[in-house]
């Protein structure tokens, strides 16, 4: 199977995430998406183990059975440090017949050279990059390819997601009904 690995805190999952999940399987050609719920940064909320966000991801995907995606808690069960390369290694070891591609937003593409073993990720698994407002993916891709032309970087022609989980959390904290934005 050709599997897109889409990781994040997903706090909360929203319609923008749903649009990306649909794009990955319906347009970009992935057989399935593994939604990897990541541990929360201890700088944000030390009490957040990720378990509630993982359960919320399972519930959101149950509400959308048409989406070919599975929520995984693999990083929540791994010992720190939580490097993406370790997650990809674990997935590949568990499912050696599958081809995995990491999904990132253009904002992450800019900082990708600071990720642990980023070159290995780009060569062995590759990345699929969805657009983010304010980031020119073509320039960022070109810069990385000058470093190593064997890097596998796919720019997705996905819809631009303009809502963020942060905006939803802030709206909820301000007492606004944000339910129409939730997945």
Which residues lie below 8 Å from residue 20, measured CB to CB, with a gap of 6+? 6, 103, 130, 158, 161
Domain, as residue range, for 152: 2-181
Average pLDDT over residues 138-148: 94
First-last CA distance in the chain: 26
Quick one: pLDDT at residue 144?
95
Q: What is the spatial distance between Cα 85 and Cα 81, in angstroms, rounded to a whole number? A: 11
Report the domain count for the chain. Answer: 1
Q: What is the pTM of this model?
A: 0.92
Quick one: pLDDT at residue 42?
46
Q: Which long-range contacts (CB under 8 A, 24 or more apart) does 110-116 make?
A: 110/135, 110/140, 112/144, 113/144, 113/147, 115/83, 115/84, 115/85, 116/81, 116/83, 116/84, 116/85
Quick one: pLDDT at residue 110?
86
Q: What is the spatial distance between Cα 143 and Cα 164, in angstroms, rounded to a whole number? A: 27
CATH of the domain at 69: 3.40.50.620
pLDDT tens by residue, 29-66: 999 999 999 986 544 555 677 899 999 999 999 999 99
């Amino acid at each position: 199977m050709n599997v897109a690995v889409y990781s994040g805190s997903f706090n909360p999952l929203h319609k923008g995430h749903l649009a990306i999940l649909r794009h990955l399987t319906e347009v970009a050609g992935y057989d399935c998406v593994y939604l990897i719920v990541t541990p929360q940064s201890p700088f944000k909320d030390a009490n957040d183990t990720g378990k509630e966000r993982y359960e919320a991801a399972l519930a959101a995907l149950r509400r959308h059975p048409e989406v070919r995606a599975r929520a995984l808690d693999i990083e929540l069960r791994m010992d720190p440090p939580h490097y993406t390369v370790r997650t990809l290694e674990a997935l590949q070891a568990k499912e050696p017949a599958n081809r995995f591609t990491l999904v990132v937003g253009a904002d992450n593409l800019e900082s990708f050279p600071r990720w642990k073993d980023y070159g290995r990720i780009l060569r062995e698994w590759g990345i699929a990059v969805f657009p983010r407002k304010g980031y020119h993916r073509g320039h960022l891709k070109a810069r990385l390819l000058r470093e190593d032309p064997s890097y596998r970087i796919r720019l997705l022609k996905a819809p631009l997601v303009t809502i963020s989980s942060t905006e939803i959390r802030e709206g909820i904290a301000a007492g606004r009904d944000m339910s129409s934005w939730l997945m």
